[in-house]
Amino acid sequence: MEIRSKTIADAHKKVCKEIFEDGEEIITEDREVTFEYPEPVLIIIEEPLKEPRVSSFCGFGEHAMEQYTNDLLNGSDNEFVYTYHERLFEYISYDMVSSEYGINLFQDYYLNQIYELIEKMKKEPTTRRAQAITWYPEHDLLSDNPPCLQRIQCMIRTGKLHMDVNFRSNDMISAFNQNAYALTKLQELIADELGLPVGRYTHYITSAHMYFERDAEELKKFKKEVYK
């Protein structure tokens, strides 16, 4: 399914309506009931910084959105299995080095993927290789809490900075709005570093779903807003 909207808020309303009406019941690995859209969902937002950026039925207000955005861009003291800031700005990588005894060893270091993709686009404005990933196969394949966001790719086209993101899984009623809000702020940060205006934001989800029990309050607000 493809959804096109001018704003994040409008896209949020449209995608939730489609899932609410055409979703299929799926029991998750955590034994929770979800309604999942039966095919991947592609959301294209043409003016991602245009208001309204927060939908009327979103469970997070502007202050909470800004805090979530700050955590993504600058890091947080909250303890969790992973954070998107760590995966994007402090991705653990490894270099093979030789010890004084001639034995090859692996030395870990932190890779700021966002800095590197910005530098890549400065040197090669037409590049298709400016991307950042979040997945650690050795950890995430066996984790009970692997990251939902998988990949970010940026491209400069038509004089604008466009961003495409891939989610393996996305809770559309309660998480999509804050994800899109924060990631388009990241898009704005990258665009500013390049001296470019913000272009389209594309959000691709393999499993777009809603939790009917967990997000009951948001669903009530959603139904009241959409089915007046």
> Three-class SS of residue 211?
strand
Measured distance CA(115)–CA(88) in Å, rounded: 9
Distance of CA 21 to the CA centre of its chain: 24
Q: Does 148 qualify as catalytic in the annotation?
A: yes
Residues 6+ away with beta carbon under 8 Å from 27:
33, 34
Catalytic residue among 16, 58, 148, 154: 148
* Antiparallel, parallel or unpaired: β 160-171 and 131-133: unpaired
Task: State the helix-helix crossing angle for 176-194 and 62-74, rounded to 10 degrees.
Answer: 50
Cα 80-86-92 angle, rounded to 5 deg: 115
Outline where 24-142 has alpha helix (H). 62-74, 84-89, 113-123, 137-140
Provide the annotated active-site residues: 148
